[in-house]
Amino acid sequence: MNVQKKNRNIGAALLFLIFGLLFFILTVRFITIQYTGEVKGQPLASKASQLYMRSDVLKAKRGTIYDREGEVIAEDSASYTLVAVLDETLTTDQENPNHVVDPRKTAAKLADYISLSEEEIYRLLTKEGRKQVEFGPAGRDLSHQVKEEIENLDLPGIGFKKDTKRFYPNGVFASHLIGYAQKEEADDKSSKITGQAGLEKSYDEMLKGEDGAIRYKGDVWNYILPNSEKQIDEPKHGKDMYLTIDKKIQTFLEDAMNKVDREYSPSKILAVVADPKTGAIVAMGQRPTYHPATREGIEKTWHNEVVETTFEPGSTMKIFSLAAAVEEGVFNPNAKFKSGKYYLDKKQPPINDHNQGRGWGTITYLEGVQRSSNVAFAYLLEKMGTDKWKQYMDKFHFGKKTGIALPNEASGNILYNWPIEKVTSVMGQGTTVTSMQMIQAATAIANDGKMMQPYVVDKIIDPASGEVTKTKPQVSGQPISPDTAIKVRDILETVITSEHGTGRQFYQLDGYSVAGKTGTAQIASPGGGYLTGRENHIFSFLGMAPKEDPELLMYVVVEKPKLEMDENGALPVSEIFKPVMQSSLQYLNIEPQKMEETRVTELPDLTKMTVQEAKDYLKEKGLSPVVIGNGDKVTDQSPKRKETVMEGEKVVIRTNGKLSMPNVTGWSKRDVLKVANLAELQINMVGTGYATKQNIKPNAPITPGEQLVVNFATQTEILEQQKAKKEVTDTEAPLN
């Protein structure tokens, strides 16, 4: 027994020593930790802090894009992502559950607010092993209103994550200029709105800013612990951008392009409106276009074609060849030339006027400009010299980028190697340009010789510092003198007001004078040569108003519109130019001019006058006398005595001499009837429109009772006849 007792005492002593030693070690360790605050060289406070430390990103606000009046074009907007909590363990209070309690009821309710079926939502809410689910694209980018409506349903377990998206309040609005920005996810699952096209892309670094961060101590639910300190790195918000675009004028342009796009279904529309005094672009658009929020339509064309696409401008280039001729002193408006055909040499086909080379006889150079005679401009080139014209093309910066600070700008191409290329360049064939180059060059005409560099960004503002970076208008050259610019505008006005003017029927405004030039250019075929067919042309107009001191400059291009047989290609172009220019001038409070009323004259009895007296009287009244007969006395007249006629109208005089047939080409049916009635001819009129052919040759003698046959055609029919009768060659000049 004693031995057993002794053994037990020894065992107890050993256990006491062991536990005592362990207690001593723990005590020393505890005291050491308390004293040093470290374990294995690692601070315990830091470890504890890391256990509870939380951090979040403070998103930088992307800069807002405004129009020049401060109207929002693009901005960040709050959006919400729908989230459902499925983990039952997250509910601590059964009366206020934090998870989805009734998946079927929840699915039925949510189906009314997001674009998923009830069954699909139910499937997501009953996924096994999932603690939380989202609803894909259908549950993202929800508006604040939808969020509130869902919250009002009081559905347990349904919550939201707040985010931002790029918002474009005007929808389709200068879309290729503004571009778009969209959310992109990084590898770490973070997301950021990034510019993808247009100004949103080219100014992305400036617009996006830099994200900040917040660090704090939080519990398992990520709530901030009481009395904990927060460390905040403030985000640097993106800079705001103010454009030169005017929302009102841009809206006028968008509406007009939509209308023409619906009615004529062209393959392409390009249009630019600018302030010629500064170079500021106040409106810019194209069709096809796209919606910047949904990108609907972007697959048709994602290029900003106003600066990226080149084409042959056609007769609008004659504005600048005219300016060069006036500047060089070789344009005499009253000098005459023989229209119809211009022969460069005997080996090549001639340069034709746009009426299949028939021309209009011997006419003045002023009338040649009004009729857009290719032959007139070929002779003007001959007068000033090809080297001189090339210098002016360089002065107007054709073949060079404008430097508008938009991506992928094209420079165009001047073909000037062969004699034929030099001649056709004055009428806009062979040489290619961009719409923006045409606008820049035209500012010299509108701005008294000073050519302004186009620009679209008015100013940039740093929201943190308030610093403003303002764009200053830049003079990019002075190709012509102020006197030349004024003369050219006066001449171009007659293209709109003259009875021979190609723009007379289409581009006149109510209360404002317009200076401008029409253009109809052929389209190069991929296989060589040019496309054929009445509609396969680029129709355009480059105009400015008011003519005396232009406030706005506008260039419109419509490619391949679908036209009725009695419609001219200038019609869809004018349906953009006229309403936009008219509305914009009124919106800018540009005072309308006091337009002189058209003079109306009551004709006297001209038979009491000699032929010369009658002609002088009619010219004094602004009328156009037409004499049939070589006598010196007036025997009859049309219109008759006491009838009223309007300024510019033809008055036919019959004399007591032998009668001869006038050239009635281009006359209306009414005027042809005047001659037929006075000469007592048997008239047979074929077709509608304007006279194109007569069976009795001009100046041939006529006798009463003789048969007169006159063929008439619309301008569209004339173009069709030209294409049917003659094959288009590379050396032919463009149509007007």
What's the Cα-to-Cα distance from 46 to each of 43, 76, 145, 177, 196, rounded to whole Å?
Answer: 5, 39, 44, 52, 43
Confidence of residue 733 (pLDDT cuts 50, 70, 90): very low
Contact 691, 714 (CB under 8 A): no
Q: What b/e string do you get for 298-332 counting C-beta neighbours within 10 Å, with b at 16 or more? A: beebbebbbbbbbbbbbbbbbbbbbbbbbbbebbe
> Tell me, what's the pLDDT at 731?
42
Confidence of residue 248 (pLDDT cuts 50, 70, 90): very high
> Tell me, what's the pLDDT at 286?
97
> Tell me, what's the pLDDT at 66?
97
> Tell me, what's the pLDDT at 687?
74
> Tell me, what's the pLDDT at 340?
94
What's the Cα-to-Cα distance from 726 to each of 340, 524, 719, 729, rounded to whole Å?
Answer: 15, 18, 11, 9
Mean pLDDT (whole number) for 94-117: 89
Where are the CATH 3.90.1310.10 domain residues in the chain?
56-242
Residue with the two structure tokens 């996810």 = 185
- Both ends of the chain: CA-CA distance in Å? 135
> Tell me, what's the pLDDT at 223?
47
Confidence of residue 95 (pLDDT cuts 50, 70, 90): confident
Confidence of residue 735 (pLDDT cuts 50, 70, 90): very low
Residue 180 has pLDDT above 90, yes or no: yes
Mean pLDDT (whole number) for 191-220: 80
Percent residues over pLDDT 90 in the chain:
52
Side chain identity at 148, as an amino acid letter? E
Give the model confidence (pLDDT) of 499-540 as tens digits. 889 998 789 999 999 999 999 988 887 777 788 777 889 999
Give the model confidence (pLDDT) of 581-622 as tens digits. 999 999 999 888 755 555 677 889 999 999 999 999 998 888
Query: What is the 3 state secondary structure string of 205-217?
Result: HHHHCECEEEEEE
Residue 633 has pLDDT above 60, yes or no: yes
d(CA 371, CA 362): 13
What token pair was written down for 707?
């048969």
Q: What is the pTM of this model?
A: 0.72
**Coil/strand/helix, residue 420:** helix
Mean pLDDT (whole number) for 394-410: 94
Q: For the residues of 541-563, what is the DSSP string, one character each?
A: EEEEESSSS-SEEEEEEEES---
Residue 669 has pLDDT above 50, yes or no: yes
> Tell me, what's the pLDDT at 493?
95
Average per-residue pLDDT for the chain: 86
Give the model confidence (pLDDT) of 535-588 as tens digits. 889 999 999 999 999 999 999 999 999 988 878 889 999 999 999 999 999 999
**Coil/strand/helix, residue 395:** helix
Where are the CATH 3.40.710.10 domain residues in the chain?
247-313+396-587
> Tell me, what's the pLDDT at 719?
54
User: What does CATH list as the number for 600-722?
Assistant: 3.30.10.20
> Tell me, what's the pLDDT at 294?
87
Q: Which residues are catalytic?
A: 315
Architecture of the domain spanning 247-313+396-587: 3-Layer(aba) Sandwich (3.40)
Helix H or strand E segment including 197: strand 191-197
d(CA 71, CA 243): 10
> Tell me, what's the pLDDT at 726?
47
Confidence of residue 33 (pLDDT cuts 50, 70, 90): low
- What letter would DSSP give residue 90? G
Give the model confidence (pLDDT) of 259-302 as tens digits. 999 999 999 999 999 999 999 999 999 999 999 988 999 989 88
Mean pLDDT (whole number) for 443-458: 97
Residue 385 has pLDDT above 90, yes or no: yes
User: What does CATH list as the number for 56-242?
Assistant: 3.90.1310.10
Residue with the two structure tokens 């290719």 = 374
Residue 39 has pLDDT above 60, yes or no: no
